[in-house]
Structure 1
Amino acid sequence: MAVRIRLARMGSKKKPYYRIVASDARSPRDGRFLDRIGTYNPMAEEIVISDERLSYWQGVGATPTTTVARLIRKHRKAAPASA
């Protein structure tokens, strides 16, 4: 089973809100997922990622999509400034 770390859309029309999830690559975008890793709110530019869960899933071979990889880099860049 190929596991991908990707976005699942939540929220209402014109107000998107995304969950960052680990899911089987064959499942639909908003379908079943294995674990919730974090959230992304594009309206407020807010990114919340559990570093523990992210490192676990990357350790077992899950690959992030290009969008999620960009969000991870953005989160890691902002994390030292807030700490």
Structure 2
Amino acid sequence: MQRTGRINMPTFRIVVIEHARSPKAGNFVEKVGVYNPKTKERSLNAERIKYWLSVGAKASGTVHNMLISAGITEGKKINVLPKKSPPKLAPVEASKEEVGVAAEDPATEEKEEATPEAPAKETTSEEAPAEETKSEPESAEKTE
């Protein structure tokens, strides 16, 4: 769809464009229809639209829904503006599944708990020699 018209009086051209071209630039291959959102008036060239779709052109979500409601193509309408809340629910469901799996396998929990303890002991043993090296130079200074 290519927007035309004045401010607060939009009209749209339904056009066929190549992937590399921008609809705002005005470079289109063919104009196949017009849509006025204020009056809900639309004029579509069904023959040319069917041709371009058969060749491999893909309609945008809005144009796809318009073609279905006009009866030019068949299929389900696409949700063009999905709500943002469903992606937030996905991590919550995943964490619930993890809790359910962990509750079923207590042996795996014990193994997981054992592995974090081992690196913790290693870090304390590494810190201890570092403290000793600091105390050695102090004792050397006292003897001089």
Q: Same fold by TM (over 0.5)?
A: yes
SS at match of 2:42: strand
- Structure 1 residues not aligned, in runs of 5+: 1-6, 78-83
Determine the structure 1 residue equivalent to 2:10. Answer: 16
- Say whether residues 1:33 and 2:17 are aligned partners: no
**Relative to total residues, which structure has the larger helix share, 1 or 2?**
2
- Structure 2 residues not aligned, in runs of 5+: 73-144
Q: Is the 8 A contact 1:47 1:71 kept in 2?
A: no
Identical columns (%): 30
2: CA distance between counterparts of 1:12 and 1:25? Answer: 27
How does the TM-score come out when normalised to structure 1?
0.79
Aligned residue pairs total 71
Q: Radius of gyration: which is bigger?
A: 2
**Relative to total residues, which structure has the larger strand share, 1 or 2?**
1
SS at match of 1:64: coil
2: CA distance between counterparts of 1:56 and 1:65? Answer: 16
Shift, 1:11, TM fit:
0.4
For the aligned residue pairs, the C-alpha RMSD in angstroms reads 1.3
The higher-RCO structure (CA 8 Å, 6+ apart) is 1
Determine the structure 1 residue equivalent to 2:42. Answer: 47
Q: Is the 8 A contact 1:21 1:33 kept in 2?
A: yes
Q: 1:68 aligned to 56, 63, 69, which one?
A: 63
Determine the structure 2 residue equivalent to 1:80. Answer: none
**Which 4+ residue blocks in structure 1 deviate beyond 6 angstroms?**
none
1: CA distance between counterparts of 2:67 and 2:34? Answer: 11
2: CA distance between counterparts of 1:63 and 1:35? Answer: 14
Q: Is the 8 A contact 1:47 1:75 kept in 2?
A: no
